């Protein structure tokens, strides 16, 4: 496999970043995952952390050397993350289960497979045109479907953050699965949270990401999205992949996986934890409390990874 990849997550104007994202790849398969912890619910950071880490660990356990059924893997992992969040809440007597949206993509044999719950999004661009995308599980998407508002109205609508499917909710999540979609060299895949797509339209993304190499254009696009978010800007996170060799620059920026050994993975994951205090006060957690929270999360993941 050959691809160029960019990953970034920012707080925006919020005090805490509840987004989590990661990617990992072996010689013949690639996983991308983004989760947006729901700020209106206790433990949004915890929910996103559990979902992302469970995806990474299950992928590295199952991809030997590739996944047998990528769509089944995506669906099962989301359901396991949903169950893990309920278990975590019960274990620590939380009044409300931690919740998160999630979007994940698997690429193998030059085909992409994706799944999502909530309003974290995936876009697939080819030569500047959108050829694949997720459809939000949200109130504003319903209003669009009913013809009551336009797509352009979604980003500013007062009910923009109301989703009806998530991991950790009271009912099992609605999980949408894609078809097996062939990729061509130059295709661009974008996973992002609502802090990005609410500030950056599909056409804006296409313009940014086809005008310059990904590793040049993507940081500038994120700068622009953060600026547009302004004083009320949400957390904003994205993973962007340009499939095939990078042809917009003479610099060597393409990731080539052929040198990886069987069962070997390269991974990029946010290891930081900025968990807000569970009882609702504004103080930061101490280092010991953060380490204990990480251990608790990892213990939950271990129960649901197999």
Domain that holds residue 82: 2-299
What share of the chain has pLDDT > 90, as a percent? Answer: 61
Between 137 and 193, whose confidence is greater?
193
Q: Are 101 and 161 in contact (CB under 8 A)?
A: no
pLDDT tens-digit profile of 88-104? 999 888 888 999 999 99
Residue 304 lies in a domain: no
- Cα first-last separation, the chain: 27
Residue 196 lies in a domain: yes
Residue 83 lies in a domain: yes
Residue 132 has pLDDT above 70, yes or no: yes
Q: Are 177 and 116 in contact (CB under 8 A)?
A: no
**Is the full-model pTM beyond 0.85?**
yes
**Interstrand relation of 121-126 and 111-117 (parallel, antiparallel or unpaired):** unpaired
- How would residue 60 be classed by pLDDT, with cut points 50, 70 and 90? very high
What is residue 277's predicted lDDT score, i.e. its pLDDT?
A: 40
Residue 44 gets which letter from DSSP? H
What is residue 282's predicted lDDT score, i.e. its pLDDT?
A: 44
Between 288 and 91, whose confidence is greater?
91
Among 64, 5, 3, 55, which residue's Cα sits nearest to residue 31? 55
**Number of structural domains the chain divides into:** 1
- How would residue 181 be classed by pLDDT, with cut points 50, 70 and 90? very high
What is residue 242's predicted lDDT score, i.e. its pLDDT?
A: 95
Burial of 215 (0-12, 13-18, 19+ CB in 10 A): middle
Q: Are 117 and 102 in contact (CB under 8 A)?
A: yes
What is the C-alpha separation between 239 and 244, in angstroms, rounded?
16
Residue 13: which CATH number?
3.60.40.10
Residue 305 lies in a domain: no
């Amino acid at each position: 496999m050959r691809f160029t990849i960019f990953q970034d997550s920012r707080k925006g104007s919020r005090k805490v970043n509840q987004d989590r994202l990661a990617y990992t790849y072996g010689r013949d398969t690639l996983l991308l995952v983004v989760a947006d912890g729901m700020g209106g619910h206790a433990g949004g950071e915890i929910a996103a952390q559990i979902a992302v880490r469970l995806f990474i660990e299950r992928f590295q356990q199952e991809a030997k050397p590739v996944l047998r059924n990528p769509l089944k893997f995506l669906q099962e992992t989301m359901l396991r993350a949903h169950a893990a969040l309920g278990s975590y809440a019960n274990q620590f007597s939380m009044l409300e289960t931690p919740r998160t949206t999630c979007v994940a993509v698997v690429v193998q044999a030059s085909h992409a497979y994706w799944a999502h719950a909530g309003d974290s999004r995936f876009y697939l661009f080819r030569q500047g045109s959108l050829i694949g995308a997720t459809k939000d599980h949200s109130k504003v998407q319903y209003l669009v479907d009913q013809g009551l508002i336009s797509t352009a109205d979604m980003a500013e609508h007062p009910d923009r953050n109301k989703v009806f499917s998530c991991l950790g909710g009271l009912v099992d999540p609605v999980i949408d699965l894609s078809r097996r979609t062939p990729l061509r060299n130059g295709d661009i895949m974008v996973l992002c949270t609502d802090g990005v797509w609410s500030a950056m339209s599909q056409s804006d993304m296409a313009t940014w990401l086809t005008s310059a190499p990904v590793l040049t254009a993507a940081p500038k696009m994120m700068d622009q999205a953060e600026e547009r978010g302004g004083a009320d800007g949400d957390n904003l996170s994205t993973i962007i992949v340009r499939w095939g060799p990078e042809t917009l620059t003479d610099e060597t920026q393409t990731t080539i996986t052929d040198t990886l050994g069987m069962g070997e993975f390269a991974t990029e994951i946010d290891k930081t934890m900025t968990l807000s205090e569970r009882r609702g006060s504004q103080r930061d957690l101490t280092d010991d409390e953060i380490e204990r929270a990480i251990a608790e999360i990892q213990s939950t993941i271990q129960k649901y990874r197999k």
